[in-house]
Structure 1
Amino acid sequence: MRWFRDRKSLLDLGTAVLVAVLLAVGGAWPPATGWDGVALVSAQVLPLAFRRRFPGWVLALVTAATLARLLTTQPHNIDYVPVLIALYTVPSARRASVRWGLGGLSAAALGAAMTVSRGPVDGALLAVAVCVVAWLLGTERQRHAAERAEFAAQRTRFQLERLAAERREQTARRLHDTLARTTTVMLVQAEALLAVGELTSTDRARVDAMLAAGRDALGQVRETLRELRDDGQQQPGPAVAAVLAELTAAGLVIEEEPALHRIPDQVRDLADRIVSEAAINALRHNGPGVRLRVEVEVAPESVRIVVRSDRIGHPTTGTGYGLDSLRTQLAARGGSLAAGPEGEGWSVAAVIPCLAVPAVPTR
């Protein structure tokens, strides 16, 4: 990934060099005008090396330098090529005001500057039309990049689901071939002993208890096998409201009602599991009377959940299986989960990505 970012930087630098060569070949580089002309052309070209990192600033600087050249020298249509490249990149900006407002303002200013020397048609209309085309090409490029990113994300999720299904099948096969078979053999032997053995009443009671426990264990193994082979679909857990109500009855103190209704439906189940697991751990490790605070921050691209609790019981180190499993699941979809001491208490902070794909820089 670092090499990829460096390669993009090299491509941007190469683009700036090519534009400088193009301006020189086209006669737009005015060495006879002295250092002022060189400075203006440099201000047009050099910012292009940073166009991906700062698309708005680059467009503003390049447009300002281009306007200064067009108004102080004999203009050429080739003079505003740097503006077209900056306009091609600006759709990757995060802020809509930069993508639309600054892009439109740049095109309008360029058209007004060309009107002075070339007139409304050959100057203004041509410049604005070319700017609009460059901006539309950048927008289309941005859309294709976002679609490719979404496709790559879906392919990754499919591969992870396939690997998870293979692991579940392997686990089911091992359970069937080892634990289920061994438990069945133990039950058969215990039933034979009960049928033909000379046992006292106390021994028979013990064998009966062993048979009951073995049958229950075998039933649980079979139920687990059915769940593992149910196409990898996890059964939904209890609603978080029911979990919190049960924990509250057991002594958990929730300072205020968490705003879980704001969480999008696409990540609601995972968010409920995070809150439930954090609340269960708080009561388990601290006992009745522990206070819990749940904070929810909803953004267009992610949901952040922070669960804080007092630490009034014995301190613990690390996290259990529940949080580790959630951390792995979040990491697989680009999120994160962190748990640990915070001041006098304990906190669990999770970031859940939504399905919206963030903007991908153009090439």
Structure 2
Amino acid sequence: MRSLLLRSRWLLEPAIAVAFFVFWAIALVGRNQLVPGHLRSEGPFWAALLILACAIGLARLSPIVAMAAGTAVLIGQLLFPAGIFDDPLVYLGYGIVALVVAATVRGRMRVVAFIFAVGAGVSTAGLLAWWLGVGRGDAAARALFFILCAVAGAVAWLIGTLIGVWARSLQKEVELEQATSRLRLAEVEALVSDERERIAQDVHDIMAHSLSVILAQADGARLLAEGRPSAVAPSLATIADTARSSLTEVRVLIETLVGAPSGDAHPGLEELDALVKRLSDAGLSVSVERFGEPDDLTAAQQLAVYRIVQEALTNALKHAGRGAVARLALDARDDGMSISVASHPADSTHSSPAAGAAGRGLIGMRERARFAGGWLDAGPDDDVPGGYLVTAYIPAVGRATVTA
């Protein structure tokens, strides 16, 4: 909404100028009829009204031209008194010009705008005093009239200056929001890219092992094909199982294999007990519930489960503090692995991570779950004050049945 208002900002002054001219043209057309025979006497009035309206329309786009046009009208009315506005309220147009100019200019030009605003007020007072006889015969009243007109011009300049400061502050806020949004997007992309590289390093050894097994079994089967045909079938079965697992790894991780791997260790489900023990020793009270045996998860999927549990429990300790309580549930009874990590602080001095927080850990967990073929969701636990809940599901690849 803010950006829309700022984009359409340039239409405001021209619209005010048109409305100003149309309003006074209709209001004063009876006194100043632009008809044949009256052009010489009424022409200066309509020219002055049109130029003043143009000054309003150009006040923001070209402040110097607007001030020059307004000054030209005052000089022209002094030289051609027929152009003086009979209704003093028309001179409020100078207040609009002074306000818009003051809101637009910066630096030293503000002094020029102030001089124009006060000068226009004093000049208007002089014209009205001369032409309409305002304060005639009363020096004090005339002096007060001049002062009031000058103050009115100064007030218009002050209001315009304040509006300009506010508008520029609003523009900076919009630009800051846009820059912040772009920065957040770039940060998320960088985090995702970095996490994918970490995943690629974790699974490199698994892929290398799988392909090595396939190559060794294939060479063995080729050499035994003629001498010991009965030994070929088990080799082919091993090749088929390993190939299926490798194809799954390729499907899951083909888009994440970047950089040169460092050969990092890749823990699996067997290491979860040791992980829980380490976090328990660090001050996190963890209870573990297991349902079923996850026989059909590949090594990469087990790695994803391990990393998700590791990050969830680490976050629970980090945000909830020592003495925090966490419950880990691993359900492998269905076709895959369901993961649930519910945690809450031991006291009310700690709070769960803010909803929608997109830190590196949460992004990493989601990326691991996604590239393992599953999903992950995390957020505050509505059932437990200060609690936090992480749920994920990793589907099983399935096990091939080979008959020798």
**Normalized against structure 2, the TM-score is what?**
0.39
**Normalized against structure 1, the TM-score is what?**
0.43
- Higher Cα Rg: structure 1 or 2? 2
- Larger RCO (alpha carbons 8 Å, 6+ apart): 1
